[in-house]
Amino acid sequence: MIVIKRIQIGEADLFKRMRLESLRDAPYAFSSTYESALRRSAESWQEQADSTAQGTDRATYIVFSDNSPIGIAALYRIARQADVGEVIQVWVAPEYRGKGVARDLMDAVFKWASKNRFHTIQATITEGNTRALKFYRKYGFTIANEISVDSSDDIVLVREVESEFS
């Protein structure tokens, strides 16, 4: 049974475990490296996990299959753009890919975004990550590199949030 939950205060170890697993499995998909993540302090992991466990600016979701964590995604509100967020750290364990888990995870992120007055979500895909690009395009994201301030090699995609406040 697949269950998706927002991370809770005090679950830094779970967050760290999922982040390290994602970086180890798919180093090509992230701007961070496994080695740099290993050097982070316990306080750093705790601060990041706890900051996404509450409030309306950040949220991290973990996917579980029979109580085992199998995926992660986070949404961070972009500074100076109150209604825009960036989805980051999206990863699903290899054995669960292509089974709708990533779609369900993204649904949870967008539902939370709608409840917290986000208008647009953007995602940055590293060059060559065609699987992620295909997923985001299928999910309804469109390419919008003109809003990117980062590397021109990365692909920036955007999708509007269906608001429950309209």
Residues 164 and 142 sit within 8 Å (Cβ to Cβ): no
How buried is residue 135: exposed, middle or buried, by Cβ count under 10 Å (0-12/13-18/19+)? buried
Confidence at 25, pLDDT banded by 50, 70, 90: very high
62 versus 129: which is more confidently predicted? 62
Kindly state the average pLDDT of the residues 16-24. Answer: 97
Measured CA to CA in angstroms, residue 86 lies from 41, 82, 110, 119, 159 at distances of: 24, 11, 11, 11, 10
Average pLDDT, the chain: 92
Complete domains list, the chain, with CATH:
2-160 (3.40.630.30)
For the stretch 83-106, pLDDT in tens is 999 999 999 999 999 999 999 999
When mean pLDDT is compared across 7-21, 24-38, 148-162, the lowest value belongs to 148-162
What confidence score (pLDDT) does residue 128 get? 83
For the stretch 104-145, pLDDT in tens is 999 999 999 999 999 999 999 988 899 999 999 999 999 986
Confidence at 147, pLDDT banded by 50, 70, 90: very low
